[in-house]
Amino acid sequence: MTVTPRYIDFHQAQRIYDRIGRWQDTRPLTERRAMDEIAWRGDFFNAAAVLEFGCGTGRFAARLLETKLPAGAAYLALDVSPTMVGLAREALAPWGGRARVELSDGSTTLPVADGEYDRFLSTYVFDLLSPADSAWLLDEAYRALRPGGLLTLASLTPGSTPPSRALAGLWKGLWRIDPRVVGGCRPVELAALAAPERWRVRDRLTVTKLALSSEVLVAERL
């Protein structure tokens, strides 16, 4: 199916996710499984500084801080939605100054120094960015990570089974009519974004439950 691009801009993303708020955590089983994969494949036990782009309610950040990250690890979470930032600040309050949540201006240029982080995490955000913004954000993730740091991503993806392909086709059809109906996202392929001269793919898998597929990508910054 040919899909007319209907990428949402960050103003639209802000409005959509301000409205969704806490409902973001009422998520399909596929997404929960994909987040489980990220949580253990991302080697967070050995991380010192995590940068998360599009943190939503902060629930996953809290889970990593509580169960995976070392006691001294720093966490910076960015989001463009003031509602999400408020919820994430609440969720991360127990970790005080070492877990910060900042309201972003919607830009995919990261407000951090070169090589400041050893994990770049973003779940279900690349599937709502335009290809140009995705490419730029990945360049920025490369800049923000130190060599050996890990890119840890999850997003909706077309999947490989006939039912998941059919659902992805239907999803893209809805997205083409009005992207807001599907939260602005559409199935994408993450691994295609990671240039082999910059990233060594450690893990790439597709999780499919009830015909809905997510791609999980963990790649090392070279």
Ligand X SMILES: C[S@@+](CC[C@H](N)C(=O)[O-])C[C@H]1O[C@@H](n2cnc3c(N)ncnc32)[C@H](O)[C@@H]1O
Residues at the interface with ligand X (CB under 6 A): 10, 13, 17, 24, 54-56, 60, 78-81, 84, 104, 106, 123-125, 128, 183
Cβ at position 187, least distance to ligand X in Å? 13
In the complex with ligand X, which residue's Cβ is closer, 79 or 215?
79
Q: How many CA atoms lie within 13 A of 21 on its CB side?
A: 8
In the complex with ligand X, which residue's Cβ is closer, 28 or 200?
28
In the complex with ligand X, which residue's Cβ is closer, 181 or 222?
181
Residue 40 CB partners (closer than 8 Å, separation 6+): none
Q: Indicate the burial class of 105 (C-beta count within 10 angstroms; 0-12, 13-18, 19 or more).
A: exposed
Cβ at position 71, least distance to ligand X in Å? 24
In the complex with ligand X, which residue's Cβ is closer, 13 or 141?
13
Could you give the CA distance from residue 17 to residue 80 in angstroms, rounded to a whole number? 9
Conformational region of residue 21, where left means phi above 0, alpha means psi within -120 to 50, and beta covers everything else:
left
Cβ at position 184, least distance to ligand X in Å? 7
Cβ at position 87, least distance to ligand X in Å? 9
Cβ at position 35, least distance to ligand X in Å? 7
Alpha helices in the chain (DSSP H): 10-20, 29-41, 59-67, 82-92, 131-144, 162-177
In the complex with ligand X, which residue's Cβ is closer, 37 or 71?
37
